[in-house]
């Protein structure tokens, strides 16, 4: 009398779970049992069909031409932040080296233009600061700082002019420092216009994000004609640092 072979046993057979003796016994039985042979054939056929169905799965990243998933976006943001952090850290580390170098060697850029404790912090991503590319950053509306940043800019420009050198200089204003470049708010709008007339290589750059924030607070923001707008002050500073500019925070 033939014993019934369960589906689980047949599956184990076609999946190679049987040892040699068990396999041979089942094969011998299949010769005499057509129905059993058909069941095994059906299972093998199913297995082949499943393999065929997933031999070439559809291309991944069907969203390539569209919008990346949120996870990917977050990862990219994280990488971007890390690069930004590394850039800033590098700048601050080099700052100390640069200050020492500037203090030790005679230079066209005084290390402490308004005295030893003038509050200036000079940073450059390059080991040798390029005296012909300088940015002055102001983020305070204190009248003293506004005057200082303009004085400092004029000093650099005049010094370069006297020495017959070309200099590129940017005054970058953000946060409350934006007041320096706001028409009707800045006490120095006339001086800024005059400086701009005298020095073609002088740029005044306002932070677009700060402008948007003030506007969001309901303030009417009009910049002086000499001012340009960058998307953000930070992006402008980072870009300039990467280009070898020297950063001075007033």
Partner 1 sequence: MTMITRFLTGPLRPGIEALRPVLYRIAYAWCHDPVLADDLVQETMTKAWVRRAQLRDQAALKAWMLSIMNHCWLDYLRSRREFDDVDDWEDRLESRSDSPEACCNRQEVIACVRAAVAKLPIGQRQVLTLVDLEEFSYAEVAGILDIPVGTVMSRLSRARESLKNMLDTAAKKHADQPVLRRVK
* Binding stretches for partner 1 (CB under 8 A): 6-8, 11-12, 15-17, 42-43, 46-47, 49-54, 57-63, 69, 71
Q: Which residues pair with 121 in a beta bridge?
A: 249
**Smallest gap from residue 89 Cβ to partner 1 (A):** 24
How far apart are alpha carbons 218 and 136 in whole angstroms?
A: 28
Cα torsion angle, 237, 243, 248, 250, sign: negative
Cβ closest to partner 1, residue 41 vs residue 144: 41
**Smallest gap from residue 202 Cβ to partner 1 (A):** 49
Q: Which residues pair with 25 in a beta bridge?
A: none
How far apart are alpha carbons 234 and 81 in whole angstroms?
A: 12
Cβ closest to partner 1, residue 8 vs residue 217: 8
Tokens 């409350």 correspond to 176
**Smallest gap from residue 21 Cβ to partner 1 (A):** 18
Q: What does the DSSP 8-state code read for residue 6?
A: P
**Smallest gap from residue 37 Cβ to partner 1 (A):** 16
Q: Which residues pair with 249 in a beta bridge?
A: 121, 137
**Smallest gap from residue 54 Cβ to partner 1 (A):** 5
How far apart are alpha carbons 232 and 45 in whole angstroms?
A: 64
Cβ closest to partner 1, residue 31 vs residue 71: 71
Cβ closest to partner 1, residue 68 vs residue 97: 68
How far apart are alpha carbons 12 and 151 in whole angstroms?
A: 88
Q: Which residues pair with 156 in a beta bridge?
A: none
**Smallest gap from residue 36 Cβ to partner 1 (A):** 16
**Smallest gap from residue 3 Cβ to partner 1 (A):** 18
Order of strands across the sheet that contains 168-173: 121-124, 246-249, 133-138, 168-173, 202-207, 227-230
Cβ closest to partner 1, residue 58 vs residue 184: 58
Least Cα distance to 118 among 98, 90, 133, 99 occurs for: 99
Q: Per the structure block, which two tokens stand in for 22? A: 């068990």
Cβ closest to partner 1, residue 31 vs residue 61: 61
Cβ closest to partner 1, residue 52 vs residue 116: 52
């Amino acid at each position: 009398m033939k014993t019934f072979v369960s589906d689980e046993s047949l599956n184990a057979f076609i999946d190679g779970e049987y040892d040699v003796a068990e396999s041979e016994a089942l094969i011998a039985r299949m010769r005499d049992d057509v129905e059993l042979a058909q069941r095994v054939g059906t299972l093998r056929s199913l297995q082949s069909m499943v393999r065929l169905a997933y031999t070439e799965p559809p291309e991944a990243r069907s969203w390539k031409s569209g919008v990346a998933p949120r996870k990917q976006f977050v990862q990219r943001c994280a990488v971007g932040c890390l690069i930004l952090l590394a850039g800033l850290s590098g700048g601050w580390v080099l700052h100390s080296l640069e200050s020492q170098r500037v203090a030790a060697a005679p230079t066209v850029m005084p290390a402490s233009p308004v005295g030893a404790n003038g509050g200036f912090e000079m940073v450059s991503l390059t080991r040798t600061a390029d005296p012909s590319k300088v940015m002055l950053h102001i983020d305070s509306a204190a009248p003293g700082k506004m005057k200082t940043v303009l004085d400092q800019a004029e000093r650099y420009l005049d010094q370069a002019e006297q020495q017959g050198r070309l200099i590129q200089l940017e005054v970058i204003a953000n946060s409350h420092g934006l007041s320096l470049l706001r028409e009707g708010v800045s006490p120095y709008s006339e001086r800024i216009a005059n400086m701009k007339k005298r020095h073609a290589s002088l740029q005044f750059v306002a932070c677009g994000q700060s402008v948007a924030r003030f506007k969001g607070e309901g303030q009417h923001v009009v910049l002086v004609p000499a001012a340009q707008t960058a998307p953000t002050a930070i992006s402008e500073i980072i870009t300039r640092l990467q280009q070898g500019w020297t950063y001075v925070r007033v």
